[in-house]
Amino acid sequence: MPELPEVETVGRALRPQLLGRSIRTISAHIESLRHPLTLQQDASLCGAPVAAVTRRAKYLTVALANGRGILLHLGMTGHFRIEPADSAHRKHDRLEFFLDNDQVWRFNDIRRFGIAKAVNVDAAGNPLEGLPALGPEPWDPAWGGAALHTWLSRRIAAIKPLIMDPRCVVGVGNIYASEALHRARISPTRPGKSLSRKACDRLVCEVRKTLEEAIEAGGTTISDFRGVDGSEGSFEQELLVYGRADAPCLSCEKGTILRSVQGGRATYSCAKCQR
């Protein structure tokens, strides 16, 4: 379920639990997630203390003090739990990391779109390999209205799938793309190149604000997202359009929220206040 705010929330919950701990053993309950799993055979991941937990886009890295680390992606349905090592594992627990404090960190992923891979890390705990080509983080000073306007200038595709393209900016998934476009009063079907510089400024501003507020709220809980401690995010209450098909628009009170499909994904918008 996770977009950037959910991944950030999970990383923040994981960090204090894992820092200073080391892994005793790793066991895999399945051969592969998105890719074949091999990290359970990698002795370099065991014994070294966790030095950092970092996030880049929707990837988390658990970095060890020996320059190795675990690159993780939650896919659509991934989540983590940390619980006593003698507790029973659950259906769809795919990986178990047994820690040196008699706790176990479990990676549960129903649909197996997740990633868990051993990588080399730098001194700051960032992965040295394993990431695809990624655009800037939403808060990167190098990203902004000007950069977005330039990136869109030769693109005729609809703005909604474009703002979700991680080569443009990372972290904007299907929920927050609809939400940020609504807040910026931009129709999701407009060709990318048709956005004015001012519209790009508004969109950048609303992407940042929406993601910040969602992180503040601990993410959005839809169906199966839960924090590492089992808690739920509260941003669902703040959603203006996502999942509200046929309901009255909360922004203009004249329109009705329309559900459409773009690139095979649901889009929600108000035709009255988004142009």
Partner DNA sequence: AGTTGAGCCTGTGTGC
Partner DNA sequence: TGCACACAGGCTCAAC
Q: Which residue has the tokens 């507020």?
A: 213
Q: Which does 218 bind (CB under 5 to 8 A by kind): Zn ion, DNA, none?
A: none
Up-side HSE of residue 72: CA atoms within 13 Å toward CB? 28
The window from 95-103, 119-127, 138-146, 171-179 that contacts DNA (CB under 7 A) reads: 171-179
Q: How many residues does the chain have?
A: 275
Q: Which does 200 bind (CB under 5 to 8 A by kind): DNA, Zn ion, none?
A: none
Q: Is the dihedral of CA 27, 89, 91, 112 positive or negative?
A: negative
Q: Which of residues 196-255 bind Zn ion (CB under 5 A)?
A: 249, 251-252, 255
Near DNA by CB under 7 A: residue from 15, 213, 224, 234: 224
Near DNA by CB under 7 A: residue from 29, 56, 89, 112: 112
Give the DSSP letter string of the chain: ---HHHHHHHHHHHHHHHBT-BEEEEEESSSBSSSB--GGG-GGGSSSBEEEEEEETTEEEEEETTSEEEEEE-TTTEEEEEEETTSPP-TTEEEEEEETTSEEEEEEESS---EEEEEEB-TTS-BSSS-------TT-TT-SHHHHHHHHTT--SBHHHHHT-TTT-SS--HHHHHHHHHHTT--TTSBGGG--HHHHHHHHHHHHHHHHHHHHTT----TT---TTS----GGGG-SSTT-TTSBPTTTSSSBEEEEEETTEEEEEETTT--
- The answer to whether residue 3 is catalytic is yes
Residue 92 interacts with DNA (CB under 7 A)? yes
Q: Which of residues 35-54 bind Zn ion (CB under 5 A)?
A: none
Residue 223 interacts with DNA (CB under 7 A)? yes
Residue 185 interacts with Zn ion (CB under 5 A)? no
Q: Which does 221 bind (CB under 5 to 8 A by kind): Zn ion, DNA, none?
A: DNA
- The answer to whether residue 2 is catalytic is yes
Residue 91 interacts with DNA (CB under 7 A)? yes
Near DNA by CB under 7 A: residue from 29, 56, 208, 265: 265
Residue 93 interacts with DNA (CB under 7 A)? no
Which residues are 97's β-sheet partners?
Answer: 26, 105
- CB of 245: closest distance to Zn ion in angstroms? 14
Closest CA to 62 of 110, 105, 92, 100: 105
The window from 17-25, 41-49, 109-117, 142-150 that contacts DNA (CB under 7 A) reads: 109-117
Q: Which of residues 247-266 bind Zn ion (CB under 5 A)?
A: 249, 251-252, 255
Which one is catalytic: 6, 8, 58, 96? Answer: 58
Residue 90 interacts with DNA (CB under 7 A)? no
Active site residues per annotation: 2-3, 58, 265
Name the residues that contact DNA, by CB under 7 A: 1-3, 6, 34, 57-58, 73, 75-76, 91-92, 110-113, 132, 154-158, 161-162, 164, 166, 173-175, 192, 219-225, 233, 261, 263-266
Name the residues that contact Zn ion, by CB under 5 A: 249, 251-252, 255, 270, 272-273
